[in-house]
Amino acid sequence: MRFFFAFASFFISGTALCQKADYLIKNSGDTIWGDIKLKNKVFYVSASAVSEVKASDVYKVKSRSFNGQTVVLCKLLTYSDNLSDLDIDFINKGSIDTVLILNEIYSTPKINLYYVTDNMKTPFYFYKTPADQKPLQLVIRYFLQGGLDNYNNDRSRYSGVRSKVQIAEDKGYVNQLYAIMGGCKKIPQSMWDLLSYRDYSLKQLIKKYNKCK
């Protein structure tokens, strides 16, 4: 399954006002002002002249061309929750090398939460602790469980309930966060059991974590 990412909603043509408002910040701390485009993992900044900056050298952008601000060059682990794309008892482990412009949706002293979607509105969450150099992806994947495949081959054995199929969740993100927060006694086991790949659920967990010393 191919994923085409559109993290910029549209490009606004250069004006003097835009040039004063838009900028990028390099890892070195240098700031470059001007209209910003992203192509083939390179930022093009247009002011009096055009500057080319590799995405790997950029920490943050502020531009009306992008929804987020935090720049991450990474191998994004992709997934689908569409029933027609899933196989029984098989996890499709796709990935794509890309540049993401993440939106920081929750900032706390211990851990920050980020969000981005592809052009199919598929959500991806990232986190960053003070020990991390850059935001890291919270991983989720889906697959099918049930007996439909066997039912087609042997109807006498797989009838009724045993023929049903359901979407199952491979909750890698729970293990990732538990490795960080598992020692926090303020987080009840029920919160781990019910943790979902949604911003409100992740924020509730982080809020509890920040109450631990």
Rounded Cα gap, residues 21 and 87, in angstroms: 48
pLDDT of residue 146: 75
Pairing, β 35-39 against β 42-46 = antiparallel
**The token pair that represents 143 in the structure block:** 């697959």
> Would the pLDDT of 39 be above 90?
yes
* CB-based contacts of 148, cutoff 8 Å, min separation 6: 88, 158, 163, 164, 165
Q: Please report which confidence band the pLDDT of residue 10 belongs to, taking 50, 70 and 90 as the band edges.
A: very low
pLDDT-based confidence at residue 18 (cuts at 50, 70, 90): very low
How do residues 141-193 score in pLDDT, each as one tens digit?
A: 999 887 655 555 555 555 556 667 788 899 999 999 999 999 999 999 999 99
3-state secondary structure of 38: strand
Q: What residue spans define the domains of the chain?
A: 16-209
pLDDT, residue 127, reads 98
Q: How far is CA 147 from the centre of its chain?
A: 32
pLDDT at position 20 is: 60
**Six-digit token string for 73:** 């060059």
> Is 20 strand, coil or helix?
helix
**12 compared with 146, residue with greater pLDDT:** 146
Which residues fall within 8 angstroms of residue 109, CB to CB, at 6 or more apart? 210
Q: Show the tokens assigned to 90.
A: 């098989």
200: enclosing H helix or E strand: helix 199-209
Task: Look at residue 17 and tell me whether its pLDDT is greater than 60.
Answer: no
How far is the C-alpha of 198 from the C-alpha of 173, rounded, in Å? 11
pLDDT value of residue 65: 87
* Token representation of residue 146: 């049930």
Q: Tell me the average pLDDT of the chain.
A: 85
Taking only the tens place, the pLDDT of each residue in 102-120 is 999 999 999 999 999 988 8
- Tokens representing 133? 């150099």
Q: Could you tell me which residues come within 8 angstroms of residue 185 by beta carbon, excluding any fewer than 6 positions away?
A: 212
Q: Residue 190 carries which side chain, given as an amino acid letter?
A: S
- Taking 80 as the threshold, does the pLDDT of residue 6 lie above it? no
- Both structure tokens of 64: 């009306």
Q: In terms of pTM, does the model score above 0.95?
A: no
The pLDDT score that the predictor gives to residue 26 is 95
Phi and psi of 97, rounded to 5°?
A: -80, 120
